[in-house]
Structure 1
Amino acid sequence: MSNTYKGNISKALLFHQVRQEIIIKPSDRGTDITKTIQGRFTIPSQYHYTMETQSCTVSNNSRGVTVRAATQWMDLVNVAVGNALGIEHNRVEVIVPRLGGGYGGKGSRSSQIACACAVVAYKLNRTATLVMSIVDNMAAVGKRQECEMDYEIGINNDGLIQYLNITYYSDCGYCFNDAAGDFSEMMVTLYDTSRWQIEGYSVLTDKAGMTWCRAPGSTESISIIEHIMERIAFATKKDPTDIRLMHLAKKNVVMKDIVASFQRDCDFEERKAAIKKFNEENAWKKKALRLSLMAYPIIYSWNFPVTITIHHADGTISMAHGGIEMGQGINTKVAQVCAYTLKIPLEKVTVRPSDSFTSPNSMASNGSITSDCVAFATVKACEELLRRLEPFKKGLENPKYIPTSVLHDVPFRQPARLHRVRSVRRRGRAGRADGQPSAAESGCSALNYTLQDYTVYGVCAAEVELHVLMGSNQLRRVDLLEDTGISISPDIDVGQHLVYGSNGKLLTNRTWTYKPPGAKDIPADFRVSFRRNSPNPAGVLRSKGTYSYHYLLMFISLCSLKALET
């Protein structure tokens, strides 16, 4: 990809075929240069292999249209359909019970399918349903952006970086709409980057437009840097873990203790010795063990409303939120948070499908912050309910389930203040122009509280076995340490290749030619642990976010396999 533009970046920029995303310049440069390493690293594209393809059903009603879309972004569908039909946005109701998988592929692209379906339903005045075949889905809907990087490293005899120059190109397809070219900020989260120079470009090609795919940008960033650390270790014949720890930024010095604890728990050194003995005794089977690190900054933003309603007859709870359930367990988490905060049984709480009426203006469920934001808003809404119930609680003797007891006696005394609370998680100021919370927000806005940003750490060790004659390999064991803080819900937290023709047409557009990971890609021994005694004072109920972050550590499997070259 970079060959097309490398020799003539200025001309490509002039004709808007290439967009420069970032330039990071070094503040220092070492002089003890004993070895120079050059190379190129490519990360291929990837299709969102969801159980459910892009789909939508649109029906007409007296107010406008009802859109049942498989989307991660209700607000975008609401706006796009309203604009496509030429009607006010309050006449478009979007309902999303759940998704059959998303991974970013149903973020911006779901609005295209929703608009096509809505036009048919609106013009013909009848219900319309559109379900894309996997062939059409793979051909038309964007995939992970392919990335190619050229690098040059100057190191000393100990493997310490004296300078590092990186130039990377990200393939956006025919448009820059969902460009993830500015992913260099994830390159500079873990290691000391004072001697690094990074230039990043987004590139237009003849392919269908690319889009977000599971940890977009951060996956490529972490893989690139971990590859560089492996190259340094290979060139100096030093332990890759020592090379990584040598380059840690001062702000991440805690990683040394995390790694030491992780290595003890997974018997890392003992297994390395056993693998060395195994390799000496076996000519045609070889094993390798490698370890990777991660520091992922969590930066909160966006709007995610939560509405909690008490049913007066039996005191049960119904709630709705602006997040989207797509298999990550957000509905389970928020129900648990609600039950925990109100101190009621979990079975008393039900979570309604997400919709644009109870949760208007909600942002996309991506970036792996949605569960945290919705859980935070749930806590605040529940606290407001408890405050309103406090006067009635004082008049009861030894109450066990407050909502039931209270509401049998006072079902309609204060309906507006007792039955419904809406809490909004939002970055920045919100509410009326005079600075006071609007009535719909019930005083629960970012004026009164805000989530604090923090960093998630992770460590992963992968052991692989290679049969030299057959070329087959197996993940023998993977150990993963998740930095979850105090996990809200531990049970929840706990080989593909795309081929394009010369004209940019996708040739591997079905399951016959594009294979998802199979049974043999699963580690024979997979162990996941949580970092102990590490509550997060900035998190919801002292927890940390999960989901996408630990996907970034998967690159260590390739590092382990490539280690067998030595």
Structure 2
Amino acid sequence: MIGTIVEPVKARLQSFRIIKVYASSLPCSIHASKSENYLKGKSVFSQGTLTGVMNLLEQELQPDHILPDTSPEYRKGLAEALYYKFLLQLSGSRVQSKYQSGGELLTRPPSSGVQQFQTDSNQWPLNQPIPKIEALVQCSGEAEYVNDHSPIPGQLFAAFVLTTEAVGNIIDIDPSPALLFCSGKILYEGQPVGIIVAVTRKLANKAANNVRIQYSNVEKPEIQLRDIVRTKDGTRVDLGQASGADIDKVATVPIGVTHVVKGSFCSSRQYHFTMETQTCLTVPTENGLNVFSSTQWMDHVQGAIAQILAIPENSIVVSVRRVGGGYGSKISRPNFTAAASALAAHILNKPVRMILTMETNMRAIGFRPEALSKYDAIQVGVDDDGNIKYLKSDLFCNVGSSNNYSYALVVPVLFPNCYTAPDWSVLNHDVMTHIAAQVPTRAPATFQCIASIEYIMQHIANVVQKDPVQVRINNIAAVHPVLSMIAELKTSSHYDERLKDIEAFNKVNRWKKKGISLVPMQHDLLFLGTFRALVSIYGADGTVTVQHAGTEIGQGINTKVAQVCAHTLGIPLDLVSIQPSNSVVAANGDSTAGSVTSDTCCYATIECCKILLARLEPVRLTLVDPTWQTLVSTAKALEVDLTAVYMFSSQREGKPYAVYGVCVSEVEIDVLTGQQQGEPTARYRMVPLFQVKRVDILEDAGQSISPLIDVGQVTGAFVMGMGVWTHEDIVYDPTTGAVLTNRTWNYYPPGMKDIPVDFRVTLKKDSPNPIGVARSKDGPLTTEAIFLNCSTTPNQFSL
């Protein structure tokens, strides 16, 4: 950035100071003294003066490059642009009107939002728009998470000892009293190699940081996906899993192909940024271990501890009340903290807490993997209307140090989105690197696939010079449900009118540009695993408790379960209480993942209620118009079983269906301060670079069980995904492989001033799902709106 003190008199400069201070890593600022001396006495508004000072600034401003700062080229260009912007502010009528807006910063008006949905009061509490049942206790700080458990006498705290190199071998660790569980070959920087246990958390973390590890055979790590793909390193890139047509279009071009499109597209990494890091409390008991883990998969934690300690699974009880955000990071990775905490508690026979710091969490756990889509070998053949005649693409995913979650089988199926793909071939490649094994993150694989094909669609539109929306429509089957949603949203968002206004705006503004984009989406829901529910009615007052196999991670599953329970039993919602989940009730259950758990747990709860109603029916027939309390108290006196258990089975009851959505996004950018491609913007938030002016989303939720919950999920998912394209990325030290963006000082998810200025979410009307739970499509709403945010990527706009 350039600091200036100016006294302009008749457009000639009397005094001027140029100080380049926009380099946070520099010990001091750059004083552009040559540029200052050059400007003295000159007319700052002449073209010759401007050219001269820009040439001098180009020479004088030589920022360093200390990661995680963005590139020197960008920072230098930003400084020069700010000087030019300063001149434009002073210029007034001296410059043409189309340049004048360049002197203004983007200003944000107050935010606004509109949410529209249908609700049928005759079905309440089903389909009733209510806040989350935990909303008040969460907002007041009374909601209990793992680390809110009261201190236990004699409790200890554990912390991981992490590697500080990415490639090499461990030859010695000091001190040796640490509980060690790793030696030899290193897989990545930040890999846990041991545990320090202390009487306070602060002392444990301090001691862990003071452990010194000696290495041998240290090498420079392989981190960057593009570098490995470019060198075609066969030791790191697998051969891939192919799907679709067997296409070889190099020798012969199909009839109708008039354009060949080729290119590449890369999506960046993303940290899960949960409110609660990986956390676990393990308490030894007379029966074994009580484990309070921040996990999305209780059965997995239970099995991991049993395997590591070689103890029976029935001696381990895993309990979860709620999790402070998951987004996929707490499916398998809680095993790290749970196993370590349980190991220390088992050996020392004392309660042990392990609460990862954010820095440790980001170094050790992993992120959303970056992906590179390349369609430059066989390319994409289209006709003059943008109809795809053939497509062959390779998708490379940086899975990190282990392919414990391979994209190979799912990418080819997910890549087409909602488009017709008879002559498409997609080959996925898992790429191994020296970083933490990557973790499924909200809409894993689908996120990268939909972004890739939408980039290709926009690229095709640019090549054939056709409307991008029409190109997309041309590649969708004529009977596809998403077509009517595109037409509906185009009308309700006034897309065509706004497009004309934007084109007019761009013609008269050189340094401010607007763009508008429409993106469709299809998400195919697949059910996996089993999920139990247990419903108990209390005869004394008729209240009801429910325990289920899902984990409340903020998605509102408890609210939906309570609503279907109250609706099925025909009782007021306030009679229903959702109790914490545990591995006894939810034995052998699957993970809260894949956007299926709201559906599955609601289904199991409904079936439990049906069982109870069937038991109560003979009692009801003996009474005259009984109240609920009278009915259940009579049943209790007759020793009727008022507790029911039911297990949802994906093989028996899981019926796949698709969810659709469409999004229109309007964005304004400042061309002078905007970032180069691949430069994260958030590190320069003090300089406005862009603004998401308006977003309209039309979402297919079936007949929503809980409309406010679903609207909240759509909104949050969109903003989280928007961070990938606008703010977030992970920066590594190229020498050690260390994560440099490992705290809030240098890693920025979208904030309150980054959300769309005008945010409109509509749940599609009159769209019941005949095979869904209560005719809803609730499950995918926790993730699928994240796909639509690719409409905010720069490549989606023709400026």
TM-score, structure 1 length as denominator?
A: 0.91
Cα distance between partner residues in 1 of 2:702 and 2:632 = 36
Cα distance between partner residues in 2 of 1:491 and 1:311 = 30
- Residues 214-248 of structure 1: CA deviation (Å, up to 9, x unaligned): 11100000000000000001111111110101011
How far the C-alpha of 1:51 sits from its partner, in A, is 0.7
Retained in 2: the 8 A contact 1:178–1:212? Answer: yes
Q: Alignment partner of 1:19: what SS? A: coil
- Give the equivalent residue in structure 2 for 1:158: 385
Q: Alignment partner of 1:314: what SS? A: coil
Q: Alignment partner of 2:257: what SS? A: coil
Retained in 1: the 8 A contact 2:367–2:439? Answer: yes
Retained in 2: the 8 A contact 1:181–1:217? Answer: no
- Give the equivalent residue in structure 2 for 1:18: 237
How far the C-alpha of 1:536 sits from its partner, in A, is 0.4
Residue 556 of structure 1: which of 791, 796, 799 is its match?
Answer: 791
Residue 384 of structure 1: which of 595, 599, 611 is its match?
Answer: 611
Q: 1:64 to 1:289 in 2, by over 3 A?
A: same
Cα distance between partner residues in 1 of 2:353 and 2:401 = 28
Q: Alignment partner of 1:68: what SS? A: strand
Cα distance between partner residues in 2 of 1:460 and 1:264 = 12
Q: Alignment partner of 2:400: what SS? A: coil
Q: 1:398 to 1:525 in 2, by over 3 A?
A: same
- Give the equivalent residue in structure 2 for 1:442: none
Retained in 2: the 8 A contact 1:290–1:559? Answer: no
- Residues 187-221 of structure 1: CA deviation (Å, up to 9, x unaligned): 13411111212111111111111111111100000
- Give the equivalent residue in structure 1 for 2:565: 338
Q: 1:266 to 1:8 in 2, by over 3 A?
A: closer
Matched, 1:269 2:496: yes
- Give the equivalent residue in structure 2 for 1:463: 666
Residue 729 of structure 2: which of 481, 492, 497 is its match?
Answer: 497
1:290-309 to structure 2, matched below 5 A, reads 290-309=517-536
Cα distance between partner residues in 1 of 2:442 and 2:729 = 16
How far the C-alpha of 1:426 sits from its partner, in A, is 0.9
1:88-127 to structure 2, matched below 5 A, reads 88-127=312-351
Q: 1:371 to 1:248 in 2, by over 3 A?
A: same
Q: Alignment partner of 2:777: what SS? A: coil
Amino acid at match of 1:548: T
- Residues 103-145 of structure 1: CA deviation (Å, up to 9, x unaligned): 0001100011100000111111110000000000000001111
- Give the equivalent residue in structure 1 for 2:399: 172
- Give the equivalent residue in structure 1 for 2:65: none
1:399-418 to structure 2, matched below 5 A, reads 399-401=626-628, 404-415=629-640, 418=641
Cα distance between partner residues in 2 of 1:293 and 1:514 = 30
Retained in 1: the 8 A contact 2:545–2:579? Answer: yes
- Give the equivalent residue in structure 1 for 2:157: none
Retained in 2: the 8 A contact 1:173–1:203? Answer: yes
Aligned length: 534
Cα distance between partner residues in 2 of 1:561 and 1:6 = 26
Matched, 1:240 2:506: no
1:406-445 to structure 2, matched below 5 A, reads 406-415=631-640, 418-428=641-651
Residue 361 of structure 1: which of 564, 588, 591 is its match?
Answer: 588
- Give the equivalent residue in structure 1 for 2:703: 486
- Give the equivalent residue in structure 2 for 1:191: 419
Residue 56 of structure 1: which of 263, 280, 299 is its match?
Answer: 280
Retained in 1: the 8 A contact 2:244–2:412? Answer: no
Retained in 2: the 8 A contact 1:289–1:560? Answer: no
How far the C-alpha of 1:529 sits from its partner, in A, is 0.3
- Give the equivalent residue in structure 2 for 1:531: 764
Matched, 1:256 2:483: yes
Q: Equivalent pairs: percent with the same residue?
A: 37
Question: Cα RMSD (Å) of the superposition?
Answer: 1.7
Retained in 2: the 8 A contact 1:324–1:365? Answer: yes
- Give the equivalent residue in structure 2 for 1:80: 304
Amino acid at match of 1:224: S
Q: Alignment partner of 1:484: what SS? A: coil
How far the C-alpha of 1:421 sits from its partner, in A, is 0.4
How far the C-alpha of 1:35 sits from its partner, in A, is 2.0
Cα distance between partner residues in 1 of 2:519 and 2:426 = 22
Residue 291 of structure 2: which of 67, 78, 82 is its match?
Answer: 67
Matched, 1:210 2:425: no
How far the C-alpha of 1:47 sits from its partner, in A, is 0.7
TM-score, structure 2 length as denominator?
A: 0.65
How far the C-alpha of 1:406 sits from its partner, in A, is 2.0
- Give the equivalent residue in structure 2 for 1:223: 451
Structure number, greater radius of gyration: 2
Q: 1:254 to 1:407 in 2, by over 3 A?
A: closer
- Give the equivalent residue in structure 2 for 1:521: 754
How far the C-alpha of 1:396 sits from its partner, in A, is 2.1
How far the C-alpha of 1:8 sits from its partner, in A, is 4.6
Cα distance between partner residues in 1 of 2:412 and 2:337 = 32
How far the C-alpha of 1:547 sits from its partner, in A, is 1.0
Amino acid at match of 1:233: A
- In structure 1, stretches of 5+ residues that fail to align are 429-445
Retained in 1: the 8 A contact 2:395–2:428? Answer: yes
- Residues 129-169 of structure 1: CA deviation (Å, up to 9, x unaligned): 00000000000001111111210212222222222110111
